[in-house]
Structure 1
Amino acid sequence: MEPNFESTATLLFKIKAGDEQARERLFKTYLPIITDWAHGRLPKYARDLSETADMVQKSLLAALQKVDDFEALREGAFLAYLRQVLLNNIRMEIRRVSRKNRHGYNQNDAELIDEGASVIEHIIGDEALQAYEKGLMSLKDKAREAVILRVEFGYSFAEISEAVEMKSANAARMLVSRSIVEMSRNM
């Protein structure tokens, strides 16, 4: 992770005050982070006109347009917000492509159906993902952010402690560990 000399909260405050350079700095800071996270999340069959990079940029721009409605309680909150915006856009794209493909058979349907996994594997994978999301939503905001930062973005415990305002890396490690246990109970 690149060192952040200007906090996300500071940049968001400046953006709300109309500072376009702050908007660009925030965009440049989060674009590579969210791009790395998004890699492989848009299924192959849904990549017609919307490649992952385009979807990431569109999601980041959409989030920045609604920045006035966003309240940055902690550094990790904005990244969790971006993740949710991108997930929502990915889900909409999958639905759009699925509806389009339901209206008729074409030569590419064989590719769409068989991507190396059986129907059961697709269902189990989707069910596991839904259970994970349900478990995440059962957590308090700070705990959810910490888990997302660790599990999905690969942040170190020191980075998490800074992002969610914990006293130490060890405190962040305990928060993540306890939150994952709580998630598993709610899944």
Structure 2
Amino acid sequence: MDSANTQDLLDRARDGDTRARDALLRRYQGALTRWAHGRLPSHARDLSETSDLVQLTLLRAVSHLEDFDPRHPGAFTSWLRRIFQNLVLDELRRSKARGGQAPRLELDAGVPAEIVDAVGADSLANYHSALETLPQDLREAVVLSVEFGLSHEELAEAIGAPSANAARMRVSRALAQLAGVLGDE
């Protein structure tokens, strides 16, 4: 992985540096692919597979870098996630138009069906509501760690933490707060 930070790669890619753009894509492709796995329901997969949507997400992101405004560490990952989720919703709409099933969960169509079945839509809604109560930096740490599966080293780089241990502690603090909010419900 390139030692440049994400903001540096973004700045260089916006200036037309193709090596920086490629490094940015390589940096996020694996994490996005791991996170995206299973988020496109099987009934919507006749035209697109998850890997196709990951590629399309990355292409859309690099073609619209000038529109991206990094307001906090980890914002690029959130932006990629949002692009992917919008593509999933598009696929679900296309599937429904072709006579397929309606989207199962409008709250977050990017959630794997197995998770919805395991925890239930109400629990998932509670998790999302509780997540929104966390400060942005802690929310981002949870999403990147739990949903994207980033290692502590990758997480430290994404959120601008000084070390992998600092990133681990931030996630632990965030999960403790999240558990407290969920326990109050």
Q: Is the 8 A contact 2:35 2:148 kept in 1?
A: yes
Q: Aligned residue pairs: how many?
A: 170
TM-score by length of 1: 0.74
Structure 1 equivalent of residue 147 of structure 2 = 152
Counterpart selection for 2:15 from 17, 24, 35:
17
CA deviation profile, 1:110-143 (whole Å, cap 9, x unmatched): xxxxxx98xxx74963443333333333333211
**Using the alignment, how far apart are the partners of 2:126 and 2:90 within structure 1?**
19
How far did residue 158 of structure 1 move? 4.1
Structure 1 equivalent of residue 91 of structure 2 = 93
Larger Rg belongs to: 1
How far did residue 4 of structure 1 move? 3.1
Provide structure 1 residue ranges, at least 5 long, that are not aligned to the other structure.
Answer: 104-115
TM-score by length of 2: 0.75
CA distance 1:29–1:162, change in 2 (3 Å): closer
The percent of aligned pairs where both chains have the same amino acid is 41
CA RMSD of aligned residues (A): 2.9
Structure 1 equivalent of residue 128 of structure 2 = 133
Classify the secondary structure of the residue corresponding to 1:4: coil
Provide structure 2 residue ranges, at least 5 long, that are not aligned to the other structure.
Answer: 102-112
Identify the range of structure 1 (44-53 vs 16-25) with the bigger mean alpha-carbon deviation. Answer: 16-25
Counterpart selection for 2:24 from 18, 23, 26:
26
CA deviation profile, 1:33-69 (whole Å, cap 9, x unmatched): 2112211111111101011111111111112222112
Identify the range of structure 1 (70-79 vs 148-157) with the bigger mean alpha-carbon deviation. Answer: 70-79
Structure 1 equivalent of residue 109 of structure 2 = none
